[in-house]
């Protein structure tokens, strides 16, 4: 082919591509997903982050890809989000993987390990230390992939209905605490309880549990813990990213 003819054809091809792109966008099918979260609507950090994410996905796709968020209990209970994504009840979820450490202890590393990495170290491990790949190899068994979607930082240790003066005071203490941290509480005589965030306040108020560890002062106040339990400083470790799990 002569040089001038080649350039002419190439130019037409590029122009045609530029013109055709908007038409292709117009023909994109609309996609609608549902996102089940482990969080109550009152948490403008965790659940609010889900809402913001869904809003931005719609904006950048000209509303072609719409994701509707649902709070804990609206479709499935807060501690069953991974199962809901895995079995196809919903297309997407936002949860904390340490809720599922009973299925496989390795899920503990999807959030945080007490006395382990701090927030920056954990995110670095996920993004640059093959942590993400390792966790997705685990999630593959459940037909899911995971994406880190934020971090609440170090957790403050919890709120307790009675004063703790010594290790002896922890014996028999019914303590709501997530994941592997519960096994540490059990070692010092406590009784760990796995309860979703939205169910902690009524459990504390009724005395079903004696103590609860959640996130930190801001979210604890949002859930009303300050009204029914004082604070303490028992170390419970950091809490790394909540995780979006997608089938």
Per-residue pLDDT tens over the stretch 128-179 = 999 999 999 999 999 999 999 888 877 767 888 888 888 899 999 999 998 8
What homologous superfamily does CATH list for 154-239? Periplasmic binding protein-like II (3.40.190.10)
- Give domain 31-153+241-246's CATH architecture: 3-Layer(aba) Sandwich (3.40)
For 70, 155, 156, 170, 222, the CA distances from 238, given in Å and listed in that order, are 26, 5, 8, 21, 20
Q: Could you tell me the two tokens for 69?
A: 């968020």
For 17, 41, 55, 195, the CA distances from 61, given in Å and listed in that order, are 20, 25, 10, 36
pLDDT score for 25: 53
Per-residue pLDDT tens over the stretch 204-244 = 999 999 999 888 888 988 999 888 886 554 444 444 445 55
CA dist 161 and 209 (Å) reads 9
pTM over 0.95: no
Residue 14 has pLDDT above 80, yes or no: no
Q: Give domain limits for the chain.
A: 31-153+241-246, 154-239
CA dist 23 and 152 (Å) reads 42
């Amino acid at each position: 082919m002569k040089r001038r003819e080649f350039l002419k054809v190439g130019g037409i091809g590029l122009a045609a591509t530029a013109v055709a792109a908007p038409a292709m966008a117009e023909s994109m099918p609309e996609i609608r997903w549902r996102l089940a979260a482990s969080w109550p609507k009152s948490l403008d950090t965790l659940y609010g982050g889900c809402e913001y994410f869904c809003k931005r996905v719609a904006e950048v796709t000209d509303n072609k890809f719409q994701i509707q968020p649902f709070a804990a209990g609206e479709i499935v209970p807060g501690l069953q989000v991974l199962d809901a994504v895995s079995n196809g009840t919903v297309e997407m979820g936002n949860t904390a993987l340490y809720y599922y450490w009973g299925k496989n202890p390795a899920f503990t590393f999807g959030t945080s390990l007490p006395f382990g990495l701090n927030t920056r170290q954990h995110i670095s491990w996920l993004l640059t230390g093959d942590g993400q790949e390792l966790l997705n190899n685990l999630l593959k068994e459940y037909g899911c992939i995971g994406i880190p979607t934020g971090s609440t930082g170090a957790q403050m240790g919890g709120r307790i209905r009675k004063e703790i003066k010594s290790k002896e005071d922890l014996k028999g203490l019914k303590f709501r605490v997530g994941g592997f941290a519960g096994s540490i509480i059990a070692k010092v005589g406590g009784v760990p309880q796995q309860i979703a965030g939205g169910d902690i306040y009524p459990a504390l108020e009724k005395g079903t549990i004696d103590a609860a560890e959640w996130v930190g002062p801001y979210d604890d106040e949002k859930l009303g813990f300050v009204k029914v339990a004082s604070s303490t400083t028992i170390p419970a470790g950091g809490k790394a990213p909540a995780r979006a799990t997608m089938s």
